[in-house]
Amino acid sequence: MIAKKMVKFVEGSSVTRAMFEEGKKMAAKYGAENVYDFSLGNPSVEPPKQVKEAIIDVLENDSPNFVHGYMNNSGYEEVREKIAQSINKRFDTKFSQKNIIMTVGAAGGLNVALKTLLDPGDEVIAFAPYFGEYNNYVANFDGVMVVVPADIPNFQLDLDTFAQKITPKTKAVIVNNPNNPSGVVYSEATIKKLAAILEEKQKEFGTAIYLIADEPYRELAYDGVVVPYLTKYYANTIVGYSYSKSLSLPGERIGYLVIPDEVDDFENVLAAANVANRILGFVNAPSLLQLAVSKCLDATTDVEAYDANRRLLYDALTKYGFECAKPEGAFYLWVKAKEDDAAFVAKAKEFNILMVPGSAFACPGYVRIAYCVDHEMIKRSLPAFEKLAKCYEV
Ligand code: PLP
């Protein structure tokens, strides 16, 4: 008999993952070239060649005990120092190795941060639409998820409603920029307003409210749009970063948390995050990947490839009459469903198009199309999208 809490997790198990499995079945039935699977955020661009070279270099030149051994639960000091300096160079910050904790991707980092911060009943605020796994991560530590409804049709942050949702029990706020699933980027002006509200509420309630910046898509921004670095706007910020998308390494599970000196109760937060990394069972982030990424901190993914996909899909779908949020970052297109989102997803499946209903992101009535796919597949899929649009013409 499994734990009651797990029953709920299993029942609500990821819709996105289910779609991905469905895609594999459909590919076997109809032929892979006739199925248009836009379900999963698995990068289509190969990892930069520096990554492979770095992995080989680590294996050939570093001592095996060093490469494969245990280390400080927060990660290798020299790796963390290199990452801190790289962040400082890019964002004009002043971090050192003590501010960096290597994690098992962004998912590992978010769980470490939430385990560090949450007592049962503590509230965590997220802005819809958001990555549905946040619900599970918050529930892991018996926190209570508080949702700010989507700001339709722009999908920016509804800050008036946000201010009303903050209570003395609010312990953390998660902001994901660029956003999965909307592809929207929150501007500096928006972040400044968000920070001002948090400062005011901390004073009003005499509490510490931590802002968790979930940033796996930081490098995926288009048309020169700037993604603000949140520690510069609000002292109580913890950044969660991942190489899953920026270096196309989602299966390798590598990322980090940034915990600035300025966060409330800094020494204890740091100590708790180090222990959380260990006792959640991660112990430490994968050693080989820590060393490898530290050797290619200037490597970049092929953002132009995603940009070409973005333009092709956005232009075609709007031409067919679909309403899409303006995609400025990440690799997702957020589209208004022409009927109930689950029914719309089912209708799209009749044309072999797989996408994820907005309900999985706390925002029914929309669907997410992940365009981190082969450009040719998008081209092949366009007639199917056109047929789908025709189903709703009156
Ligand atoms: N946060 C967001 C918004 C995501 O979209 C994802 C993955 O798709 C994650 C966190 C988890 O990323 P990782 O693979 O680094 O654990």
CA dihedral 364, 219, 296, 309 (to 10 degrees): 70
Distance of CA 256 from the midpoint of ligand 1 (Å): 12
DSSP H or E segment with residue 242: strand 237-242
Return the ligand 1 atom nearest residue 242 CA.
Answer: 15
Give the mean pLDDT of 149-174.
Answer: 98
Measured distance between the N- and C-terminal CA atoms of the chain, rounded to whole angstroms: 52
Probe target for ligand 1 pocket from 19, 133, 368, with the most ligand atoms within 8 Å of CB: 133
Residues with Cβ within 8 Å of residue 138, at least 6 apart in sequence: 114, 118, 124, 144, 145
Rg (CA), the chain: 21
**Tens digits of residue pLDDT in 321-359:** 999 998 999 999 999 999 999 999 999 999 999 999 999
Return the ligand 1 atom nearest residue 107 CA.
Answer: 16
**Tens digits of residue pLDDT in 359-373:** 999 999 999 999 999
Task: Supply the pLDDT for residue 20.
Answer: 73
Distance of CA 36 from the midpoint of ligand 1 (Å): 22
Is the distance from the beta carbon of residue 180 to the nearest atom of ligand 1 less than 6 Å?
A: yes
Q: Check pLDDT > 80 for residue 17.
A: no
Distance of CA 200 from the midpoint of ligand 1 (Å): 30
Give the bridge partners for 329, in sequence order.
221
Nearest to 202 by CA among 211, 192, 190, 213: 211
The first and second tokens of residue 173, run together, are: 């706020």
Identify the band that residue 12 occupies on the pLDDT scale cut at 50, 70 and 90.
confident
d(CA 41, CA 64): 34
Is the distance from the beta carbon of residue 106 to the nearest atom of ligand 1 less than 6 Å?
A: yes
Distance of CA 107 from the midpoint of ligand 1 (Å): 6
CA dihedral 274, 276, 279, 283 (to 10 degrees): -40
Return the ligand 1 atom nearest residue 131 CA.
Answer: 3
d(CA 315, CA 108): 36
Q: Check pLDDT > 80 for residue 111.
A: yes
Nearest to 139 by CA among 37, 317, 3: 3
| pTM above threshold 0.85 | yes
**Tens digits of residue pLDDT in 208-221:** 999 999 999 999 99
